[in-house]
Amino acid sequence: MRHSKLIAASAMALGLATTAQAEGPNKLITILTSPEPQTQLMAMVLTMNAIAAGAQAEMLLCGPAGDIALADAPETATAGQPPMGASPQALMQKMMADNALKVQVCAIYLPGKGADASILLESVTAAAPDAMGAAIVALGTQVMSF
């Protein structure tokens, strides 16, 4: 009898530890490479909703999607999309302002453009590959890729 109580107590303690671990911060990294404005906007919408649901999010923009982070962004990044008329860049900037969303471009984005960080929106930086790699594999992190 005493042995079964000990097992039950241990199981409860393990269950509580698992629950406590699950209650830690939800981390989300959205990796966006798509050139399609609707796909870019949907990545922003899903990231915004994950933040509203309690996630700590950050975003990595690579390839054509990096253009969303340009101070002088192309119309594909700034034109409103149906049904609400939001643009990928506007929604990203809203999350940066309202939720402190950390936005980075891939490390090779700026060299590929032959430019420096001065062409980016304020607060957008180039990602360090080692730090981003570690963030992607960190416990409790979900990765969404578009």
* Residue range 37-88, pLDDT digits in tens: 999 999 999 999 999 999 999 999 999 999 999 999 999 999 999 989 999 9
CA atoms within 13 A on the CB side of 51: 22
* Residue range 12-37, pLDDT digits in tens: 333 433 334 455 669 999 999 999 99
Torsion of CA 107, 110, 114, 116, to 10 degrees: -110
| DSSP run (H or E) holding 25 | none
pTM: 0.82
Sequence letter at residue 7: I
Parse the chain into domains and list their residue ranges. Answer: 24-145
CATH of 24-145, one of 3.20.20.70, 3.30.750.24, 3.50.50.60, 3.40.1260.10: 3.40.1260.10
Q: How far is CA 114 from the centre of its chain?
A: 26
| DSSP run (H or E) holding 48 | helix 37-52
